[in-house]
Amino acid sequence: MPAIAATDKQYVLALDQGTTSSRAILFDRAGRLCAVSQQPFAQSYPQPGWVEQDAGEIWQSQLAVARAVLRDNGIGAGQIAALGIANQRETTVLWDRRSGVPLAPAIVWQDRRTAGPCAALAEAGAEDLFAGRTGLRLDPYFSGTKLAWLLDHIPGARGRAEKGELAFGTVDSWLAWKLTGGRAHVTDPSNASRTLLFDIHRQCWDAELLARLAIPAGLLPRVVDSSGVVESIDADWLGAAIPLAALAGDQQAATFGQVCLRPGMAKNTYGTGCFVLMNAGRQAQPSRHRLLSTIGWRYAGQTTYLLEGSVFMGGALIQWLRDGLGMIASSAEIEGLAAAVPDSGGVYLVPAHTGLGAPYWDPYARGALLGLSRGSGRPQIARAALEAIAFQSAEVLLAMEQDAGHRLAELRVDGGAAANNLLLQFQADLLGVPVVRPQITETTALGAAYLAGLAVGFWQDEAELSALWQVDRRFEPGRSADWRANALAGWQRAVQRALHWAEAD
């Protein structure tokens, strides 16, 4: 991307802190992506089912790309009207309030180490309590049991937490703390609603839920609006005291970036995981089909709720084929390899490597490759991998339609794998509705930018944002209802083989 000439033109800077990389993206008033800087960082897998990151490396990588996107494009910090953060959700950081140093590696959202405690809470009859207040299921995906695990396994941590010496946060809170020199220990409702500790109806931390997990309230950040100036970042970081004006979990940010601002509108992000979210309006909508009810965003005195289904292995499946099996040299190769055959030849790949999310919620499920014959090879497995991403998303969307009580009109899509035409066409065929890819697919960062820009008057209202959204391509369904039913039945038969595989005795 060519360097931007230094002018008085203003931008909004979005920090998109994802599961495998940190990015900084500049957007102008037309909602155009003007510049991007990206840096990957490491993940570690110390035991089966464990996923960890270095919170210090997350911060350093995010700071580095924020500096780079300004420096490399000749942009002065004074040209930045506001800064917004979108973050990988549920990933849990515990740090010392005085030194700002994390006490342990961050526990990533994919981590399954607290499957046992979650099962114990469910067996004790707490499922309905947590679901009713948080809209979530008792699953190790969420932050609350991860935080409890840290307090139980770091020597002295619980006592220090009770004395107020420690701070907990998801990645938004961690970055806000670092950017403001510890002045702002905050989160927003979209991230708070992913912790198992937040009452999404009263919009406050819940004392009874905290007691169930033995978590001291003094650890928790202050909950602020998703769009609104929280504090200014320290001028030393980027060269000016830029307003920190938005915080949002990445999937809620992507939903806002896709301008799914009316009830019934839905998007799917094909990232490390796949995340399907539907606007549910001004009231939380309980799910009858094992989906999540969560807060989308809050600002200007209004809260928007969403229905969500989370798929743990989306793009991560393609990464596994590349890095784990060495089947492809780059992720971009998958489409050409899969297109070499008309179908998977009866092969199904169930990517339950870290359990299955919605609508199964089975932390003990494990990956399975089924239906192999002597004619099966790399192309069939590649095709089965892409189809698995679409199958998982389709099951979530079908459940969502039943909860909402109406058919989806279209599905808006984004994320890295949304560039894959074969995947999106298969998705449209499975759903029987159009799949629509916008011109700007970096909608997570765009949503953070929109929320930050609204807070400072860079954009005026939601109508202005809706007018900026433009279509790149529509994928129309081309298969019959019978084909869809048979395809889904085959997939569900394969999933049954993977369920409960690693279940403890």
Q: Are 170 and 294 in the same domain?
A: no
Same domain? For 303 and 188 the reply is no
Does residue 446 register a pLDDT over 80? yes
Q: Does 280 lie in the same domain as 192?
A: no
Average pLDDT on 224-238 reads 96
Q: Taking a C-beta distance cutoff of 8 angstroms, is the pair 175, 102 a contact?
A: no
For the chain, report the end-to-end CA distance as a whole number of angstroms. Answer: 55
Asked if 325 and 213 sit in the same domain, the reply is: no
Does some domain include residue 38? yes
Residue 454 in domain = no
pLDDT at 253 over 50: yes
If pLDDT is split at 50, 70 and 90, which confidence band does 504 have? Answer: low
- The per-residue pLDDT of the chain, averaged, comes to 92
The answer to whether residue 274 sits within a structural domain is: yes
Could you tell me if residue 1 is inside a domain?
Answer: no
Given 191, 220, 249, the domain boundary residue is 249
Any domain includes 464: no
**Res. 5 pLDDT band, cuts 50 70 90:** very low
Q: Does a structural domain hold residue 444?
A: no
CA–CA gap between residue 4 and residue 416 (Å, rounded): 24
Residues 6+ apart with CB under 8 A from 426: 386, 387, 390
Do 63 and 28 belong together in one domain?
yes
Structural domain tally of the chain?
2
Long-range contacts of 394-397 (CB under 8 A, 24+ apart): 394/427, 394/430, 394/431, 394/488, 395/309, 395/358, 395/359, 395/488, 395/491, 395/492, 396/274, 396/276, 396/291, 396/309, 396/310, 396/311, 396/358, 396/359, 397/266, 397/268, 397/276, 397/309, 397/431
pLDDT at 382: 93
315 and 226 within one domain: no
Whether the pLDDT of residue 505 is over 50: the answer is no
Q: Which domain holds residue 34?
A: 11-249
Residue 492 lies in a domain: yes
CATH number of the domain that residue 390 is part of: 3.30.420.40
- Dump pLDDT digits (tens) for 57-116: 999 999 999 999 999 999 999 999 999 999 999 999 999 999 999 999 999 998 989 999
pLDDT digits (tens, 9 = 90+) for 281-337: 998 888 888 899 999 999 998 999 999 988 888 888 999 999 999 999 988 899 999
* Same-domain check for residues 198 and 292: no
- Of the pLDDT bands very low, low, confident and very high (cuts 50, 70, 90), residue 2 is very low
Alpha-carbon separation of residue 163 from 150, 160, 241, 455 (angstroms): 16, 5, 32, 35
> What is the average per-residue pLDDT within 201-217?
96
- 82 with 221, same domain: the answer is yes
pLDDT in tens, 116-154: 999 999 999 999 999 999 999 898 989 999 999 999 999
Which of 205, 223, 249 is the last residue in one of the domains?
249
Residues 35 and 132 in one domain: yes
Report pTM.
0.86
Residues 151, 292: one domain?
A: no
CA dihedral 286, 111, 248, 229 (to 10 degrees): 130
Same structural domain, 429 and 488: yes
Domain co-membership, 374 together with 392: yes
DSSP bridge partners of 277: 267, 308
For residue 443, being part of any structural domain is answered with no
- Please state, for a pLDDT cut of 70, what percent of the chain lies above it: 98
Which of 249, 275, 297 is the last residue in one of the domains? Answer: 249
